Every structure is written in C-alpha cells, then in structure tokens.
Amino acid sequence: MSQTPNDRSTVLPGRPPVVEMATWESAREELLLREKAHTHEGDAIAAARRRLPMVEIDGTVEVVGPDGPVPFLDLFQGRDELVVYQHMWYDGAPHQGQCEGCTTTAWHLKDAIYLNARGVSFAVLTTGRWPEVAEYVGFMGYTQPWYSVRGLESPIGGSMGWLSTFLRDGDRVFLTYRTTGRGTEIVNGSMALLDLTPYGRREAWEDNPEGWPEPAAIRSEDGAVGAQTCWYWRTNADGEGDWGPTSRPAPQWTRPGATPAGSLGRRGDVDEQLPD
C-alpha cells in the first residue's frame, strides 16, 4: 500500500508532519504575520534608538594603530558616523587563546564597504598592547582598522565586548548607542541564517520539537562531553565543538599556520587586562 504525506510512518521521529503545498503555504502565512510584527517592532525600536540622548566625549584622546598614536577623531576618516567593535583581549595569550566570541564577531565584520558608502566608518578597538594586537591582526588577515585603547576609560576604552556608535559634528564627538551580549549578533549573519534552517543553531537553550536532534556535543577542558551553548566558538581540527588544549576559535582554522597548539592561554593563564 502506498504511503501518503500524512502517514506518520514516513516521518522521522521529532520532525514536523509532511503536508501538501497548500497546507504548508497556509502555515507559512500564519507565521509570516508574526514575522512582520517582529520586523515592524524592530523598526519602531530603531526609530527610538535614533532619538536616544547623546554623550559628548573627547575626540582628541589618542588611540594606537599601525601608524602610532592618533586622535580618536581620525577613526571617522572624515565621515560623520563611526561604528566600532570593542574586542576583548587576553594579554600574552597565543592566537588561539584570544576571546572566542569576539573572534567570531570580528570575523563577520571584515568588510565595511557598504557602511563606507553610507557615510559610516568602522574600526575595531581592543585593550591589548599594540605589538600583540598587530601580530594577531596579521595572523587573522583582517583588513579593517584596529587600534589599541589600552589604559583609556569608557566609552573608548574600559570593558570590551561592545558594539558602539558615534557621531561627529566638526571636531565634536558623541557616543550615541552601545550594545553587548546577544545584541552583537546583528553583525553575525551566520546566526541569522542558522535561525532559518530546520535544525536551527543546535544550541542547548533553543526550543525545538520533541525528538529533534540533540545540540552539538562539546568537549570541555576536563574532557567531559555534553551539550553547551555557543558550540561554534571553539572547535578542534575536525570542526567538532571542543574546549580542549588543541581547539581554536572556529574562524582561525582557515588561517595559514593554524595548527593545533598545546595551550589555550585563556584567562587565568595570562595577565589581567591592566594598563602598563
């Protein structure tokens, strides 16, 4: 006897039912109403964001780049707006020991051509000593400008892991917005695409159908294996989530010389992020 699309024997455990196209389109339209509401609310939030009060900062404060110290104002490159990603840094750590989340975020910010076309400059700031930072930037192959803000106070220096935006009016500079945590996901297009896929991000916190494939297994530093969030941060050479001694931030495996190393060099093994 032939099987029909609604015959549960044709459906693997945990997967949604198989239906005719018309039924799928009806369900899709129902979800689309929620998606449009989400988009419209996002537009409203963006409008409110553009009306946030601003904080004036000293644009003459110097940051250190490949040409030595330059005033923060130079990061605008003559444009009126500036977006910076403030990259965490572990002093003295090898490349594979730098911040996994920041590495992933910065990897998705390698090209600012469209921002530049809209009158917006982009730069990465970090608290590392410039010689270490320059070596890391070269290893990663980044072409966007990086600067050390070591010893500077917030909002230019201080704690890292932020996306911050600034406005220039002549020689005056204003902080207009900042986000951290999952707010930085807006630059990570891979996450948005994974959210569209049937299995999603495969992270432990996601709400999935019963029987859906388990989240990716991660090997921790002590060798234990289990499901954790952010499996994409660190992997071994085979692309498996791994926080062991031969793992690296996932983007690093595409870089020349990205071979396994015997030490993660993570926090606890290196100096704190303190000024010289």
Query: What's the whole-number mean pLDDT along residues 51-57?
Result: 98
The pLDDT value recorded for residue 193 is 94
165 assigned to some structural domain:
yes
Whether 218 and 241 have beta carbons less than 8 Å apart is answered as yes
pLDDT digits (tens, 9 = 90+) for 62-119: 999 999 999 999 999 999 999 999 999 999 998 989 999 999 999 999 889 999 999 9
Task: List, in sequence order, every beta strand (DSSP E) within the chain.
Answer: 55-57, 62-65, 68-71, 81-87, 120-126, 146-148, 162-169, 172-179, 217-219, 225-227, 234-235, 248-249
> What is the CATH classification number for the domain harbouring 149?
3.40.30.10
pLDDT digits (tens, 9 = 90+) for 93-107: 989 899 999 999 999
DSSP three-state, residue 119: coil
* Residue span of the structural domain in which 111 resides: 55-188
Tell me 227's DSSP state: E
Torsion (CA) 192, 193, 198, 200 in degrees, nearest 10: -40
Whether 96 and 264 have beta carbons less than 8 Å apart is answered as yes
pLDDT digits (tens, 9 = 90+) for 208-266: 888 888 777 777 767 777 766 677 788 888 888 888 888 889 899 888 777 666 655 55
The pLDDT value recorded for residue 270 is 42
pLDDT digits (tens, 9 = 90+) for 11-39: 566 778 889 999 999 999 999 999 999 99
Closest CA to 104 of 31, 184, 212, 46: 184
Whether 242 and 236 have beta carbons less than 8 Å apart is answered as yes
pTM of the complete model: 0.86
93 assigned to some structural domain:
yes
Taking the C-alpha atoms of residue 167 and residue 177, their distance in angstroms, rounded to an integer, is 10
Residues whose CB is less than 8 angstroms from the CB of residue 77 and which lie 6 or more positions away in sequence, other chains included: 121
Residue 10 pLDDT greater than 70, yes or no: no
* Total number of domains in the chain: 1
Closest CA to 220 of 189, 245, 196: 245
31 assigned to some structural domain:
no
208 assigned to some structural domain:
no
108 assigned to some structural domain:
yes
119 assigned to some structural domain:
yes
DSSP three-state, residue 249: strand
Taking the C-alpha atoms of residue 82 and residue 145, their distance in angstroms, rounded to an integer, is 12
Taking the C-alpha atoms of residue 100 and residue 96, their distance in angstroms, rounded to an integer, is 8
The pLDDT value recorded for residue 47 is 98
Residues whose CB is less than 8 angstroms from the CB of residue 44 and which lie 6 or more positions away in sequence, other chains included: none
- As given in the structure block, the two tokens for residue 196 are 């569209």
2 assigned to some structural domain:
no
Residues whose CB is less than 8 angstroms from the CB of residue 227 and which lie 6 or more positions away in sequence, other chains included: 204, 214, 215, 216, 217, 218
Whether 223 and 57 have beta carbons less than 8 Å apart is answered as no
22 assigned to some structural domain:
no
Q: Mean pLDDT, the chain, as a whole number?
A: 87
